[in-house]
Amino acid sequence: MCAQRIIDPDVVIVGSGPAGALIAKQLGLAGRKVLILEAGDRLPPSINSYMERFLNATAKVPESPYQPDLFTGGNLTDPATVNAGRPTVLTLNPNGGFGAWQDPKQAYLIQKGPLAFASTYERVNAGTTRHWLGTSLRFVPNDFEMKTKYNRFVDWPINYSVLEPWYGAAEHEIGVSANVRQQGYLGITFEPNYFYPMPGIPESLVDHAVEKAMPTLKVDGYGLQNIDWTITPTPAARNSQPYQSRRVCAGNTNCIPICPIQAKYDASVTLADAFRTGNVDIMYRCVASQVVVETNGKIAGIDFIRYDTIDGPPVERGQVKAKLYVIAGNAIETPRLLLMSKNGGRTPDGVANRAGLVGKYLMDHPLYLAWALAPEPIWGYRGPLSTSGIEVCRDGEFRRYRGAFRIEIGNEGWNFPIGDPYTTTVDLVDGLNDSGLNRDKEALYGSALTAALNNGLSRQFRLGFLLEQSPEDSNSVTLSDKCTDHLGLPRPQIRYDLSDYTKEGFAAAKATASAIFKAMNAAEFTSPPAPDDPTSFEWHTFEGPPGQNVRIKYYGAGHLVGTHRMGTDRSNSVVDDKQRSWNHDNLYLVGCGSFPTVATANPTLTLAALALRTADHIVRNFPQ
């Protein structure tokens, strides 16, 4: 809690991630008094404590630098013992052992399957931008009109032209490095004389190696036969020159889970600006437990529970009141709060849920990961995690029958897929072959070890395919009726699966990865998943044995989307195009949960553009 709470705020915001922070700043600049409720702890004086946790972590997963601790007494922390729990990728393992995906004593999310939801998030100050990559892509215009263009899913209630100026505002607000002339593909346009705030991040040597193979790349089937293959530098919320008092990117290859010099944007940058207005305050370690509704349908307040330590008892239960309320959690925690808000039985289905759509249409970018060994050194680990991608597969007529994808070119060798350079080093020292690079299982030392490491690690690279997932109302967030957190609040219950449309996109991604490796004369090392891997499925591919399916593994991209979708009326959506609840005039539900579809672009830039548009709407329609 801050030294003094704002008394009688105009607006209460739940969540200090990018959407909440951006709206708080804009409202503060406009003279509105804003109070933020944040479930996580305050920022440390510097990120050194986060860095120390990361360096000392046994498992260097995206969640490792942040609280609560992943391990307690050598075991995974029981989510029932912490006040603001969060999921971890360590609990995506088969049932019956360490990290079992359906064990509530290990996994925060109560997963009901049939497949595992593979993405995670943080409940800390500044939200999951703590461990995001910084990729800041605009949607392509057809992403907003899937029903009109391809007779798939639904159209958004806004189109690209409506959001175009807000994309520009968001790019300058969070600080995006890119060049306009490189980003005008697949119908993306920019306002006249527009420029990004900083020039693009330099392309990596891995990018150049992949780019050389583009002229000879051929992919059979899947609507990819006539693609003009090319590499595109990736817009990133990462400094290519000094900006917002942040330093220039130094090329550290661990943007996920933490930039050691804070060259990458996170929402704490915006929060600091918001606090400087003198109109914004925040209550830390404060978990929203209910949205309170008056009999006339207006929101009357937010109930909260405050704690002092992550596993300690509540120290305060109270309610904050304002004229206007903004719920800015993520696509799991926002519907959780709405569904918990029963109001003594007056809202038995939760708040903002008269259409029964709160929690429905949960999506991610399920990720196909492929890795290979180039014939010559291409020198990964130089530069950020990714500086370029292949964007030409993000749109096309193939979207009538299968999911689109974008391809992220990774600079961190095989770190993502197998945990290198650690795994290969242990293999070569101990005579193992988990990486596949020590087939003779020799135990090496001295100059032989050095030569083997130099030869293997310098040629590694990986590709990540971010798949378009179809919106399905059966993929949902509800409340567990058995499992609670340490505050006694029900934990999120997840039902998740992948449709045939999405799986066919995976088949296309798998074929494309193999074709790229072939064009580069690179040896593919992508390993098949175990039959009981909860993040895998069987599907037919052109490359597999005739009449037999191939098992494909997917990963989570950390892109939680859907669950309070925007739409054209109260019968088909939860919020309108300004992210305002259809059911409650003074309630806004903001963030990626408002997206009707996930498309292929990393969602944070679109989240930011929508947040700025919502803030503008609030300022214009709720005068002081």
Average pLDDT over residues 571-599: 98
How buried is residue 108: exposed, middle or buried, by Cβ count under 10 Å (0-12/13-18/19+)? buried
pLDDT at 587 exceeding the cut of 60: yes
pLDDT at 130 over 90: no
Among the listed residues 531, 534, 571, 574, the one whose alpha carbon sits nearest the alpha carbon of residue 362: 574
pLDDT top residue among 56 and 494: 494
Predicted pLDDT at 308: 96
Q: Which residue has the higher pLDDT, 312 or 624?
A: 312
Note the pLDDT tens digit of each residue in 137-188. Answer: 999 999 999 999 999 999 999 999 999 999 999 999 999 999 999 999 999 9
The alpha carbons of the chain give a radius of gyration, in whole angstroms, of 24
pLDDT at 320 over 60: yes
Provide CB contacts within 8 A for 32, sequence distance 6+: 10, 11, 279, 618, 619, 622, 624
- Of 39-53, 288-302, 319-333, 602-616, the one with minimum mean pLDDT is 39-53
pLDDT for the residue 322: 97
State the pairing for strand pair 490-496/110-114.
parallel
Give the model's confidence band at 543: pLDDT under 50 very low, under 70 low, under 90 confident, else very high. Answer: low
Tens digit of each residue's pLDDT (9 = 90 or more) over 279-300: 999 999 999 999 999 999 999 9
Distance between CA 13 and CA 583 in Å, rounded?
18
Q: Is the pLDDT confidence value at 415 over 80?
A: yes
Query: What pLDDT, on a 0 to 100 scale, did the predictor assign at position 2?
Result: 42
Q: What Cα–Cα distance (Å) separates residue 206 from each residue in 385, 386, 410, 473? A: 11, 9, 8, 40
Range in 43-52, 273-282, 343-352 the model is least confident about: 43-52
C-alpha closest to that of 212 among 523, 519, 525, 513: 519
**Domains of the chain and CATH, by start:** 1-171+262-363+473-496+562-624 (3.50.50.60), 368-468+499-553 (no CATH)
Per DSSP bridges, beta strands 299-307 and 314-320 are: antiparallel
Alpha-carbon gap, residue 7 to 4, rounded angstroms: 9
Closest CA to 63 of 604, 620, 556, 485: 556
- What is the pLDDT, as a whole number, of residue 4? 53
Supply the pLDDT for residue 3. Answer: 37
* 393, pLDDT greater than 60: yes
- Nearest Cα to 415, choosing from 367, 365, 369, 465? 369
CA distance 302 to 289: 7
- Three-state secondary structure call for residue 311: coil
Q: What is the mean pLDDT of residues 46-75?
A: 90
State the CB neighbour count (10 A cutoff) for residue 138. Answer: 25
* CA distance linking residue 67 with residue 126, whole number of Å: 13
Residue 473 has pLDDT above 90, yes or no: yes
Residue 504's pLDDT is 97
Percent of the chain whose predicted confidence (pLDDT) is above 70: 99
Sign of the torsion angle spanned by Cα atoms 87, 290, 130, 233: positive
State the Cα angle at 469 between 467 and 474, rounded to 5°.
155
Question: Mean pLDDT score of the chain, rounded to an integer?
Answer: 95
pLDDT score of 27 more than 90: yes
Cβ 491 vs Cβ 483: under 8 Å: yes
pLDDT at 622: 87
pTM: 0.97
Mean pLDDT confidence for 9-13:
97
- Report whether pLDDT(544) > 70: no
The span from the first CA to the last CA of the chain, in angstroms, equals 26
